[in-house]
Amino acid sequence: MKTLKENFLWGGSIAAHQCEGAYQEDGKGLAIMDLATQGSYGVPREFTKQVEPGKIYPSHEGIDFYHRYKEDIKLFAEMGFNCLRISIDWSRIYPSGDEEVPNQKGIEFYQRLVDEMLSYGIEPMVTLYHFEMPVEIVRQYGSWANRKIIDLYLKFAETMFKALNNKVRYWVTFNELNHVDPMSKASDMFTYLVAGIKYSELENPKQILANIGYNMSLASVKAACLARNINADNKVGCVFGITPFYPATPHPDDVLAAFKQTMRDFYQVDAMCFGQFPQYKINEYISNDININILEEDEKFFFEGRLDFLGFNYYQSEMSSTLNTKQTSENRGLHGGYINPYLEVSDWGWPIDAKGLRYMLNLVYRRYNLPIIITENGLGAADEVTANNEIIDDYRIKYLNDHIRELKKAVIEDDVDCFGYLMWGPIDLVSATTGEMKKRYGFIYVDKQDDGSGTLNRYRKKSFNWYKEVIASNGESI
Ligand code: BGP
């Protein structure tokens, strides 16, 4: 009987700005998320131009991982993690983005963190860019729409490839850069997360988003070449946020719309896997009067910088509808589709669809034939703490159990090459889309509340032991 690989990677993913805190310590510069204040689901979050006293900026303290990482890594090790995905905050390394010399203290923090993980046999997977960029790059250069940023990013990437050489094998160039498709209306939230700019303030959004999409794709393939030149053992991937869209009815218009909405997320995956920036996208730009600055030398990088593996983040599916069949604006999903009436939704309105994970694993594997790792998956919920500091999160166990079961089916029955499962937020951290602490994902509860209060103490939830057993049995307990 086929099972998951013996060395299957089990663990979780976290991101610097959502957990580290210490936003002004050891020479760190301001990063884009340091200017994002708390918001809530459905309401655009608020972004200020500078830090204002008295407001709550969730990234400023995070869960104080910067000072408590040893305690947290120990807890991950207790669960049996053999992999942890972290991200590097660019503004710790180059506080304004274009300094000549990197900030040594920032580098040393990540060296200590990686060493701590390795001491427990936890394989680090390192994301270079997870919604984190020095604010100065946006102010001075206009963010990723400017090709110059590619060189600044490569300088940062090279610094980290060298600083963590022979310690880190798995590198991720970007997290979820795919949320800003130039041909669809983006939200302020997604353009801010990806590039530190607000969609509603752009004068020529299609052109700007097309530049951003191209420049980030090119930066990724160039970074992949660099990583492998520095160490041939480096494996380079990119992480995409992938959402399947289902047709609301079998009407061919709905079916076509669902296909198009699903594939909207893929043009950059194509660019990084097929060895060239896709011609269909270039044609689309031409017919929409969008000009992309493509240099002749780029071609070689798209070919040589193809990815070694694909990471994808999966949370939910949505539905496409063109026929006005009972769809209302209240029924809208996060990614521009509608909520599927056959699915339950989370406390934050995200549809729960474990089978969608199997569907996407199949689609992605058959299209790219590359090893895949699930780099994020999880349930954001408002946990209750009992008088004895217990958290009985059966709903989280059910969510994760159902998704891992579908992943196993994709591997065992459908032959998909999936080499790991990293759930999102193994320890409670700040929500990326709302800035809340209340929206919790972890196996470990952190006593920190939305008003900034709390001891920051850590407590094991019921799901902690459940995941420990899943890992110990290499998924057989499911
Ligand atoms: C992904 C991001 C993560 C994470 C997750 C959950 O898109 O890569 O950073 O936060 O979504 O979203 P949220 O925290 O808003 O619930």
The DSSP code for 321 is: -
- Per-residue pLDDT, averaged over 173-184, amounts to 89
- Between the CA of 139 and the centroid of ligand 1 the distance, in Å, is 25
- CB-facing half-sphere around the CA of 116: CA atoms within 13 A: 20
Domain assignments of the chain as residue spans, ordered by start: 9-472
For this complex, say whether ipTM is above 0.95.
yes
Query: Would the pLDDT of 340 be above 70?
Result: yes
Residue 376 catalytic?
A: yes
From CA 383, how far away is CA 149, in angstroms rounded? 41
Question: At 162, is the pLDDT very low, low, confident or very high (cuts 50, 70, 90)?
Answer: very high
> Structure pTM?
0.97
Cβ of 313 closer than 6 Å to ligand 1, yes or no, is yes
Place of tokens 């795919």: 178
Q: How far is the CA of 423 from the centre of ligand 1 (A)?
A: 11
pLDDT at 90: 98
Of 232, 220, 385, 366, nearest in space to 307 by CA: 220
Compute the distance between CA of residue 221 and CA of residue 238 in angstroms, rounded to an integer: 10
- Note the CATH number of domain 9-472: 3.20.20.80
Answer positive or negative: Cα dihedral of 258, 362, 235, 80: positive
Choosing from 376, 384, 436, 476, the catalytic residue is 376
Ligand 1 binding pocket includes 380 (Cβ within 6 Å): yes
Q: Return the pLDDT at 62.
A: 98
Q: Is the pLDDT of residue 55 over 80?
A: yes
pLDDT of the residue at 44: 72
Average pLDDT value for residue range 387-405:
97
| Weakest-pLDDT range from 138-142, 187-191, 443-447 | 187-191
